[in-house]
Structure 1
Amino acid sequence: MSLSNEAREALEAFQQARGWEQRARLLMQWGDRLAALDEAEKSEDNRVHGCESLVWLVAFEDNGQWRFKASSDARLLRGLLALLLVRVQGLPSAELAELDLPGWFAELGLERQLSPSRSNGLHAVLRRMGELATAS
């Protein structure tokens, strides 16, 4: 699977970061890039269950490619969501279903920061993306 320019940019930035402090700062910066969801999008229908924090996910298809918006009440999780989104934006459903989430975060050097609950939460988001992609 090829990487988008934005995903490549993220990968380069995180691979150049030295240590957790720099990665944490980068994570917060990426989280700040997330497009804000309006209050109507923060509905129960858009809520991702299986996350300890509140997470909302909105999806739409554009010429066979998936686009997502997401947000969370947790700042660190917003950064992780931003990195997930840059990896999945524009993927067709088949590639979305095959995404190696642990592999992506390992490439970014963030696998140690993924506590079991954060990892489960991100998998819940990815699962929800797949459900939305196959439901349409």
Structure 2
Amino acid sequence: MTNNAIPQPASSLFSPLSEDVLNSAKLIEQANNWQEKYRQIMLLGKKLPNLADELRHECAQVKGCESQAWLYHCQIDGQHFYLADSDARIVKGLIGLLLVATQGRTSSEIAQFDIAVYFENLGLNGQLSPSRTNGLHALAQAIARYATETN
């Protein structure tokens, strides 16, 4: 009998974000123009760990993204942690921004998260294509769904 179980990341991989990642998000907020913000988003994406190939499973893909994006969730002591990756560098950086806003938060904190306000505060509204914006909203909805389904 074959084992068709979908691989799950080890719970030890779900952890708070590094100071380097958090500082990169601050640089995006402080950037003076779209070109600098874009560059910082790309650099942020490079700082996130890559998912192992065996975790790039179809069931972990976030539907609605133009690029391929994968998302895993783990709740530890009432806090929600995520592992995410994308095959597109800009999307991975945008995922990093979502993780900065949601990693280690409670269900109620995630439920109060407003992606539109967050991206407006970062100066990114109107800078992303409609398809990127839709994909980003799909990722934010998946993060929120995980946080509410585990209560």
TM bracket (short chain): 0.7 to 0.9
Letter in 1 for 2:28: F
Structure of greater Rg: 2
Contact 2:60 2:71 in 1 (8 A): yes
Q: CA deviation at 1:8?
A: 6.7
Q: If each structure's helix is expressed as a fraction of its own residues, which one has the higher value? A: 1
Q: CA deviation at 1:79?
A: 0.8
CA RMSD of the aligned region, Å? 2.0
Report 1:1-136 matches (<5 A): 9-10=23-24, 12-136=26-150
Q: Say how many residue pairs are matched.
A: 133
Contact 2:41 2:90 in 1 (8 A): yes
Contact 1:41 1:58 in 2 (8 A): no
Unaligned residue ranges in structure 1 (runs of 5+): none
Unaligned residue ranges in structure 2 (runs of 5+): 1-16
* 3-state SS of 1:112 partner: coil
TM-score by length of 1: 0.87
TM-score by length of 2: 0.79
